[in-house]
Structure 1
Amino acid sequence: MKFIPLYDTIVVIKIENDNKIGEIYVPTNENNIIKGKIIETGVGTLLKNGEIFPLIVKINDIILFKDSYNVEKYKVDNIEYYFIKEKDIISIIK
């Protein structure tokens, strides 16, 4: 399935792992922090003057984001897609 997100919307799939990044353990209980891979991005944030400010993140970036009320989810063929905004991203993992 191909998504074409609008403006600053980002499509992410969850990466299942042992909740460890390098030597740091990421809590998965009450913080609801998710590690994911960006599969699609919009063109950028629409500013009040009509210009578009490009996104910092790119396709295939690995990110951390918090599963909150801002996050929309869509499940197809046992794959859960998360639709988030760039401002909801906690960190890019390199």
Structure 2
Amino acid sequence: MKLKPIYDKIVVKRMEEKEQKTPSGIIIPDTAKEKPQVGEVIAVGNGKVLNNGEIRPLAVNVGDKVLFNKYAGTEVELDGEKYLVMAEDEVLAIIE
């Protein structure tokens, strides 16, 4: 099954973080870490509908690495993978 977002929505997969250790060698468990705020765009909608009815193409494309705020989007699980579905305006920046 695939997710096909509509309008100005995008599907983002969070980037996996490497295992984190403190300087003294203590491994920080996943439950104590914040979720990464960087992800890869997996799918994009066809564009934002403007007030005059025109559709503006999205600024992000499939494959872009994006930075988003901590509480952006709605988390969904599909085929055992977790994704975020969010509006394009929740993206803070494209990482080049």
Give the TM-score normalised by structure 1: 0.77
C-alpha contact 1:8 1:86 (8 A) present in aligned 2: yes
Distance 2:55 2:6 in 1: 12
Match of 2:14 in 1: 14
- CA shift at 1:78, angstroms? 3.3
What stretches of structure 2 of length at least 5 have no aligned partner? 19-32
Match of 1:91 in 2: 93
What stretches of structure 1 of length at least 5 have no aligned partner? 19-27
**Higher strand fraction (1 or 2):** 1
Q: Kindly report the root-mean-square deviation, in angstroms, between the aligned alpha carbons of the 2 structures.
A: 1.7
Match of 2:21 in 1: none
* Number of equivalenced pairs: 82
Letter in 1 for 2:45: G
Distance 1:86 1:38 in 2: 10
Give the structure with higher Rg (CA): 2
Match of 1:63 in 2: 66
- CA shift at 1:13, angstroms? 0.6
- CA shift at 1:34, angstroms? 1.1
